[in-house]
Amino acid sequence: MARLLFTCLLLLLITTIPAALHAQERTVVFKTVDDRGDMLGYSLVRLLPVGDTSRTYQDISDSTGFTAFRLPDSVSYKVQVQTTGFTFRDSLINMATAPDTIVLRAQVMSNALKGVTVTSRKLMMRQEDDKTIIDPEEIAATSTNAFEMMEKVPALFIDQDGNIFLNSTTPATVYINGREQKMSTADIATILRSLPPNAVERIEILRSPSARYDASGGGGIVNVVLRKGVKIGFTGNVSAGFNQGTYGNQHMGISINNNNGATSYNLNLHTGRRNSWDRIATDRRFSPDSVLSQDAYTTYPAQNVYLGYGISHELDSQWSISYDGRLSLNVSENETTNPSAIRRISTGEESSRSNASIGNDINSYNINQGFQLKYKADTAGSEWVTDLSYSYSPNKTEQQFNTSFELPYNFALSGDGSIDNRLHYFSVQSNYIKKLPKQLSFEGGLKTTNVWFSNTTRYFNNSGTIKLPDNFRTRAYDYNEHIHAAYVQGSKTLAGITLKLGTRAENTNMLGHQQVPSDTSFTLRRTDFFPYAYLSRSIMKIAGYDVRAYLIYRRTISRPSYEYLNPYTRYIDQYLFETGNPSLRPQFTKNYEANISVDERPLLAIGYNDTRDIFTQVVYQSETNRSLAYRTYDNLGTNKETYFRFMGAIPPTKKFFFVAGGQYNHNFYEGLYEGAPLSFKRGSWSFFTYQRFMITPVTQLSLNGFMRLNGISQFYELSGFGALNLSLSHKFFDKKLNVTMSVNDVFFTNNNKFTLDQGSVYATGMRRSDTRRFGMNILYNFGFRKKEEHNMFNVESPDKAN
């Protein structure tokens, strides 16, 4: 296989690299200021090559007004700047004579300019082709880690177990720097909690990913892009903060970036401590006149250290190479107390009463190494990119459990267990994009992803001073996954209509081998094709805003992860355990969506997901002991899901910005649950809002929140819940120091009641967590940039440039 992969990559190298061009490129920095020379942050800078409309450069300047582009020397550009409350006269620059740093001066809009429509500002959320890009800078200032920050992102809904949802009830796939994380939901949440919030440059949301991306993104893709040294000069920041609920979180870190034009490097060191609690109270009826009542209270103290680093170098005007790495260490010691009682419903008489205590000491770390080689074939945007990534994620848990019974008589059960997981993940992908004349493009690529996972679980029961092996829960399991893929895709714009067609082929090889308690194995080998179609066009303009419509079709697959397949038994308490299901089959989904955006902002969408062989978490009762239940995963049948999404905003002024939206999902499940016919329908609503009010030019009040009504999680029916978050920030010392005070879940409403009524299981309960918190975050920016050249740039008349 290694030889085959090497041969394929070598052929791709030989056949796709065009002849080198002689054009030279260099990095040019643009600084936006007002007529007094004060910085204008978050301005849109757009460069339009004269005589070539197929390629446009644009970016949002940072908070200090800086942005940078890598541009050819031989081209002239039309420069446009758009920012709220200011106007800028379009100008032309000649790159042959332009300095390395260009100052762009905007004028304050006067009364005479009231008729001018200002169409650009800092875009917290914007649409680019088939993805939504979130600028998280403002919400990062109110968060202690990246996971907490993502909980506040508009249009992202995260459940209490860490799953992220976009369009549907299928969780989204999480990428970091464009690379899929082949890890469990809990492990990904742990990594995100170790990331400092200011390390995230942007969040890309792909609700309907194209053929370029893995077909496993049935619930969409959330790509967390980390910051790199992109600002010219030596810059950095130090940060610290805390938030306090019943328990507290604290963090501090430093970030350093250096960019001299050809070489850049970045270093990010962050450490944190966190603690919270979670309470789940449940009443589960396991016979007509018997109910099991439990009230579990868990604390999650943890400490983490994160180190991120990277270096990139431009070998010449066309070739560049980069390396980045991440190391995160996490130590946690969660403890659960869980009083339980079994009683008769008719009389209230208790037949059993006990108290369980479970402790888990968890040590985990994650090492990720990535390399990327990029070749820019031309100035139109053609490029060839090869990316290699390796991750190693060991995780070891030491568990102690003890159950003390008071009824029917006094006795105790105790024991311990060790769970040792080791995950290796290696991927290689190589993509080539060719931009052709007349707005035609073609792309194709190869990818291989490989997972090696091993689990060893040992449990012991105590009998006096003797430890006896627990053969029911002791397991040893190995799992290998190898997915090889190729895709082709092309797009063409004609008469304002953009059509993109593509297909992806994926060869799946899954091998599982259970060694203990018995020697069993399973193998899955299959090849599938996943077509993709995308159509968009501008349909009208309203008050100068471009209204664009999109139609999207795609087919996806969701493969069960090692976490779902692993047959080991995890002890929850004396009445509940978890186990995987090695016989799970992949699920396939066909997605159809129509949506509309206004001025690069998503507005309306309606879609339909048709899923077969759907698998989800289920709760079954033991056939031999009805008071005992277990959680596992099973294929249930089909799900037909219809969704509707909307969003609206008040265009930001100098003082106020407002955005709000919502989504409706209706699910219809049909199949078998515990061998009995299943027919389950439920519709749910989700709403969100984000608002910003500038009290002064350096003082900002922000509000964000969400609400879910009639929600669903697997087959748990949820009551309404939500959260409202407030923050107040002020900038000091020429905007270098930012201090933010925040309150999360002001009214303590981020808790819910739930009902599970499927098969032989009927349970009700409630869940709440340590969500109401008061906090403060401090961020100080430091450094210096390359000396600005104030002789401005060479401005030509449009006639001369043409």
> CATH number, domain at 262?
2.40.170.20
For 181, the enclosing helix (H) or strand (E) is none
Are residues 210 and 105 part of one domain?
A: no
Are residues 696 and 776 part of one domain?
A: yes
- The model's pLDDT over 182-205, given as tens digits with 9 standing for 90+, comes to 787 888 888 888 888 888 888 999
251 within some domain: yes
C-beta separation of 264 from 258 below 8 A: yes
504 within some domain: yes
- The model's pLDDT over 367-379, given as tens digits with 9 standing for 90+, comes to 999 999 999 888 7
Task: Tell me which of 796 and 561 has the higher pLDDT.
Answer: 561
- Report the C-alpha gap between 163 and 662 in whole angstroms: 19
Are residues 172 and 281 part of one domain?
A: yes
Burial of 354 (0-12, 13-18, 19+ CB in 10 A): buried
638 within some domain: yes
Number of structural domains found in the chain = 2
Give 192-252 as a DSSP string: HHHS-GGGEEEEEEESS--TTS-TT-TT-EEEEEEP-S-SSEEEEEEEEEEEESSSEEEEE
Are residues 170 and 115 part of one domain?
A: no
Task: Tell me which of 537 and 52 has the higher pLDDT.
Answer: 537
733 within some domain: yes
Q: Which domain holds residue 107?
A: 24-122
| Per-residue model confidence (pLDDT) at position 5 | 42
135 within some domain: no
Provide the CATH number for the domain around residue 49.
2.60.40.10
424 within some domain: yes
Task: Tell me which of 214 and 140 has the higher pLDDT.
Answer: 214
CA angle (614 as vertex; 613, 617 as ends), nearest 5: 135
Are residues 679 and 634 part of one domain?
A: yes
Are residues 380 and 344 part of one domain?
A: yes
- The model's pLDDT over 405-426, given as tens digits with 9 standing for 90+, comes to 999 999 999 999 999 999 999 9
Average pLDDT over residues 660-671: 94
Are residues 542 and 635 part of one domain?
A: yes
Pairing status of strand 173-176 against strand 221-226: parallel
The pTM assigned to this predicted structure is: 0.80
Model confidence at 399, pLDDT cuts 50, 70, 90, reads: very high
Are residues 175 and 89 part of one domain?
A: no
Pairing status of strand 173-176 against strand 179-180: antiparallel
- The model's pLDDT over 326-346, given as tens digits with 9 standing for 90+, comes to 999 999 999 999 999 999 999
Are residues 494 and 425 part of one domain?
A: yes
| Per-residue model confidence (pLDDT) at position 623 | 80
Are residues 320 and 272 part of one domain?
A: yes
Are residues 207 and 274 part of one domain?
A: yes
- The model's pLDDT over 46-69, given as tens digits with 9 standing for 90+, comes to 888 876 655 678 777 776 678 888
Buried/exposed code over 571-602 (b: 16+ C-beta within 10 A; e: otherwise): bbbbbbbbbbbbebebbbbebebebebbbbbb
| Per-residue model confidence (pLDDT) at position 476 | 92
790 within some domain: no
Are residues 163 and 108 part of one domain?
A: no
Considering 107-111, 205-209, 527-531, the range whose residues carry the highest mean pLDDT is: 527-531
65 within some domain: yes
